[in-house]
Each structure stands twice: as C-alpha cells, then as structure tokens.
Amino acid sequence: MKQAGVTGLEGVIAADTFLSYVNGSEGKLVYRGHWAKELALHHSFEEAAWLLWKGRLPDASELKACREQLAEGRRLTPALKTLLDAIPSQVPLMSAVMSAVAASNPGEESSAWPPRFHEAIRITAMLPTIIAYRYHQISGTHWPVQADEQQEHAAYYLHALFGHPASEAHTRVLNAYMILAMEHGLNASTFAARVVSSTESDMYSAVGAAMGAMKGPLHGGAPSGVITLLEKIGSKEQAEPVMREMLENGERLMGFGHRIYKTRDPRAEALREVTQALAGEDKWFDLAIHTEQAAIRLLAEYKPGRQLFTNVEFYAAALMRSVHMPIMLFTPTFTAARVVGWTAHILEQSENNRIFRPQSNYLGSLPSE
C-alpha cells in the first residue's frame, strides 16, 4: 500500500560540502568556486578532477603528476585481466564493472580507512580500462594493446573502446561531457558512496555501492532511455504524436524532469553548445532539438505546475550519438566521469566522519501491551 509521508528525502540536507553548489531554481552549477560550464569548455578532465579532489586547479607540476598517476592506473594488469575474464559473459556490463572495481581493493590493511587520494586516482584511472576491456569481451573484439596510456583521459577512453586514436573533436566533446557529469551534489549515487564510506568501509566498496545506485534507470540509466525515445520518434513530424501518446499512457519522457532543477539544467545548456559545434547537420542532433521543444510544450500541458525541463541526460544522449558511443556504454561512461565526484565526496566525508543513521517512521500496528 502506498503511504503518504516521508519519501525521497527531498529538501533534506544530509552533509556539508565544499565540492559543488547546485542551485536548481536559477540553474547554477559551481565546482569549488568555478562555473562547471567554463571548466567544461576550457579545461581538461585532469584539471577539473584535480580541482574537485584538491580544491584548486593544478599547477604545471601537479598536472604532470596527475597525468602520470592516471597513466599508471590505466594499465591492464594481469590481475585485472584475470578478474574480468572470470566474470561470466551474461553478467550485465555495469554489474561486471562494479564487481571488478570492488574486487580491485588491494587488500592492504592500510587501504581500508581513511580513504586516500592515491586510491581516488587509481579507481578513476582504472574505470575506462575496465569498461573498455569488458566491452571488447562482450563484442568479441580485440583489446587494443596499442592504446597509449599516456594520452589525456577522454582520448585514452575513446582509443581503448574503439581501437584507434580518437579525433580531436570527439575527444573535446567527450572531455566536456565528462567534466559536466563529474559532480552534482548529493545525488543518489554520491549519497550511497558517502553512506558506505561513513561506516569506515574502504573506497572501493563505497564506489561499488555508488555504481549500484548509478545503474538504475531513474539515475544513470536515463541516457539510454533518451535514445530509445528518439528512436521511437524517428522523425520530427512524429515527435509530438509519439510523446503525446506516451504521456496519455502515463509514461515518463526520459531526459526531462529533475529533482533539483526547476528550470533548464545548466549542464544541458553547456552540452547543447558543445555538441552543436560538432554535430552540424547530424540527424540525431536536429531531432533532439526538435524533440526537446515539443517535449517541454507537452510536459507543460500534461503536467502543469511541475516545472519539467530538459535534464543533462537528454543532450548527453545526443553527444554520445555523435561520438558513436553504443547505448550499452552510456551509463558506464557517465560512471567513468562521476567517479571523480564520488571519490572527492568519500575523501571529504572522511575529514569529519560520523556514520549516517537516519530513522524510519513506523506506520504499522503495535501489539497490545
């Protein structure tokens, strides 16, 4: 039976943070004092990650050190290969990635608590390798041994996935996407990471828990839902009738609505800008723009007063299409970006830790005394 009452912790403040400022009514997103959009347009993944982890942009020697540590962590070690080879092929991609990360805990006594910065870099570095290796396993294609681990993060990821060096344009848009997807306050997966970390569990387990939350369709699973929606629509003329029918049937339009943003998601705005430059006459991008306009109109008609606008997943899907990312890699790619936010939150949680222990509101009956 559905009960009215406390659901979804909406509006509840559960942690203090210096990492990001999300203002949903004004559509503002700030990472440690910097506009996320500016970082996405003018900085590298490595610089933005360092900013979140350390609180300021890196200087030249810090950036060099960060790149070296990422390159080191990306290596497909024999242990990692054995681990991934042992996971049965029917295990879903995200579940395999989650298991591989959790099992990559080196098991040293020292690696449990408190979480360390070098673990944040190691987990961030290994994710593209794990995702790409698993993708090749599933697709029956060969692991590109020649993918140079010294490349920039987004470039390495594309190279490892597709087996050839990525174009500069594709690297640039993926880099921008990964920065915009890196951090977003206390969303479900980040909250999961902080809760697990607050028990003084290790960083690998906390990131694994966050991935479990990330793979749900109401969180990181949404971009593939957007492609399904766009494929179902197929042409501009069909946008309105298809979505009208969905809303009549009580279905949700993926890529719209957000718990926090009650105006256009600033990340959607930035991604639209970056992708537009690349997409040009791209069919999917044109369809996406048309669909967005129709969806906002229809949502205002069918759900008046709910303030439903485009969220980041909508343009993330258009961007993924333009870099030829298969649907099965959408959520893993979001994960490879968001891991920076998770690990930064885990480090922050450990600085002033107290175990999370909210209470539940018992609605059942009591036995007679």
Q: Can you tell me which of 42, 64, 232, 306 binds ligand COA, judged by CB under 6 A?
A: 306
Contact status: 262 vs ligand COA (CB under 6 A): no
User: Residue 200 catalytic?
Assistant: no
Q: Which of 237, 232, 239 is nearest to 292 (CA)?
A: 239
Shortest distance, CB of residue 10 to ligand COA, whole angstroms?
7
**Stretch of 64-72, 101-109, 253-261, 357-365 contacting ligand COA, by CB under 6 A:** 253-261
- 3-state class (DSSP) for residue 99: helix
45 or 256, CB closer to ligand COA? 256
- Told to check if 222 binds ligand COA by CB under 6 A, we report yes
Number of residues that bind ligand COA (CB under 6 A): 17
Q: Which stretch binds ligand COA (CB under 6 A): 76-84, 86-94, 252-260, 347-355?
A: 252-260
* C-beta nearest to ligand COA: residue: 257
Binding to ligand COA by residue 252, rule CB under 6 A? yes
- How far is it, in rounded angstroms, from Cα 215 to Cα 234? 26
Residue 108 DSSP SS3: coil
Does the N-terminal peptide bond of residue 358 adopt cis geometry, omega within 30 degrees of 0? no
Among 308, 319, 346, 347, binds ligand COA (CB under 6 A): 308
Paired strand residues for 20: 31
Q: How many residues does the chain have?
A: 369
The amino acid occupying position 294 is A
Least Å distance, CB 72 to ligand COA, is 33
What distance in Å separates the CA atoms of residue 268 and residue 27, rounded to the nearest whole number? 10
Give the interface segment with ligand COA, choosing from 51-59, 102-110, 305-313, 340-348 (CB under 6 A).
305-313
From 77-85, 231-239, 270-278, 303-311, give the range in contact with ligand COA by CB under 6 A: 303-311
At 101 the three-state DSSP class reads helix
Minimum CB distance to ligand COA, residue 338 (Å): 11
Please report where in the chains the tokens 């879903």 appear, as a residue.
92
Q: Is 184 designated active site?
A: no
Among 253, 271, 287, 337, binds ligand COA (CB under 6 A): 253
The residues that bridge with 23 in the sheet, in sequence order, are 28
Which helix or strand (DSSP H or E) is residue 50 part of? helix 45-54
Q: Beta-carbon neighbour count of residue 128 at 10 Å? A: 27
Nearest to 331 by CA among 1, 3, 16, 98: 98
Q: Which residues have a Cβ under 8 Å from the Cβ of 360 and sit 6 or more positions away?
A: none
Can residue 312 be called a binding residue for ligand COA (CB under 6 A)?
A: yes
Binding mask 94-123 for ligand COA (x = CB under 6 A): ------------------------------
The correct pick among 69, 99, 124, 311 for binding ligand COA (CB under 6 A) is: 311
Residue 86 touching ligand COA (CB under 6 A) = no
114, burial (CB in 10 Å: exposed 0-12, middle 13-18, buried 19+): middle
Residue 29 contacts ligand COA per CB under 6 A:
no
Task: Examine residue 331 and tell whether it contacts ligand COA (CB under 6 A).
Answer: no
8 Å CB contact between 32 and 44? no
User: Residues 159, 170, 219, 258: which is the catalytic one?
Assistant: 258
- Report phi then psi at 283, rounded to 5: -60, -45
Helices 330-351 and 203-214: angle between axes, nearest 10 degrees: 140
Establish if 239 lies at the interface with ligand COA (CB under 6 A): no
Q: Which among 49-57, 88-96, 257-265, 348-356 is the span making contact with ligand COA, rule CB under 6 A? A: 257-265
Percent of residues in the chain assigned helix, strand, coil, to nearest 5 = 60, 5, 35
Question: Cα–chain-centroid distance for residue 117?
Answer: 20
Contact between 233 and ligand COA per CB under 6 A? no
Among 16-24, 93-101, 173-181, 256-264, the segment contacting ligand COA (CB under 6 A)? 256-264
- Active-site residues: which are they? 258, 313
Q: Which residues bind ligand COA (CB under 6 A)?
A: 8, 218, 222, 252-259, 303, 306, 308, 311-313
